[in-house]
Structure 1
């Protein structure tokens, strides 16, 4: 399945009431889910000839409760709620430029337009251009070039144009 066929499949599923579709063969497994508040839009994973085994229900782990004797400092930095995060739509390798000897698509401080390519994600030997969904100023690039990324991982933060 090539990228064009994948896009056509996603568009076709979007026009139906199908909530989830899984395609499997010996080379890959593809699961498409319609967006909701807690689910990803598209989940893409590769498996090389891995036999499938029926899964049994898994019991949820028991909650561990501990009462600290001293207050614990929060290590998570506060993120400006006005910023928009550009997140990874798939698992793959993040590339800031179209080729190693070319400049990055965007740098911190650059103004970007909706639809502008901001990076490339390599997944299953395909180079997928990621386009910005908002116009604004890039305030942070959160991933290093050629770094592996996970689905939903924040890649950049953009201050939208008002």
Structure 2
């Protein structure tokens, strides 16, 4: 990725209204953070990731540690495997309500049907209603209201039974 592409990415993120974007490719890791509400402060981090063979020996134990830490969560993952995850179809800002003075679309424990609106995601000043593609019961809401979300980020856990 060259400098011109990075500059274009920064401009795109600044105009999109997204608070933070992380991009990882084979040899480059980029994080772009912007502050909303009209401020023009931008912070961009570009980090070149060395090739796998060039990693120092001290890095190897750190790579093993997260795998070992993930093992105790295995029972929780098995329990949640019976649930269906509803994921974000777009990048934007997650809202649980259609407007600040309206009630939330869904709560934990609500039964939903196919086609019910679950939330709104704002992307580039457009508010996109996210509809359920399944019927079931909301088990968990995985994102806080007014939080930025990424494409394919889990939003809800639904029990289809």
Question: Residues 48 and 145 from structure 1, CA distance in 2 versus in 1: closer, same or farther, beyond 3 angstroms?
Answer: closer
Question: Where does structure 2 lack aligned partners over 5 or more consecutive residues?
Answer: 1-7, 16-24, 28-49
The answer to whether residue 81 in structure 2 is matched with residue 91 in structure 1 is: no
Larger helix fraction of residues: 2
**1:66 and 2:70 equivalent?**
no
Kindly report structure 1 stretches of 4+ aligned residues shifted beyond 3 Å.
Answer: 46-49, 57-60
Gaps of 5+ in 1: 1-27, 30-45, 50-56
TM-score after normalising by structure 2? 0.58
Q: 1:94 to 1:72 in 2, by over 3 A?
A: same
Cα gap change, 1:98 to 1:58, in 2 (>3 Å): closer
How far is 1:61 from its partner? 2.8
3-state DSSP of counterpart to 2:69: coil
Q: Which residue of 2 aligns with 1:158?
A: 158
Matched residue of 2:80: which SS? coil
Deviations 1:19-74 (A, max 9, x none): xxxxxxxxx99xxxxxxxxxxxxxxxx4579xxxxxxx9658316572569x9332
The structure-2 alpha-carbon separation of the partners of 1:124 and 1:108, relative to structure 1 and needing over 3 Å to count, comes to same
Distance in 2, Cα, partners of 1:141 & 1:58:
32
**1:97, CA displacement in angstroms?**
0.8
Q: Which residue of 2 aligns with 1:110?
A: 110
- Please state how far the C-alpha of 1:106 moved relative to its aligned partner: 0.3
2: CA distance between counterparts of 1:48 and 1:80?
A: 36
Distance 2:145 2:14 in 1: 26
TM-score by structure 1 length?
0.58
CA RMSD of aligned residues (A): 3.1
- Structure-2 separation of matches of 1:136 and 1:99: 25
- Between the two proteins, the alignment pairs up a number of residues equal to 110
The structural deviation recorded for 1:84 is 0.6
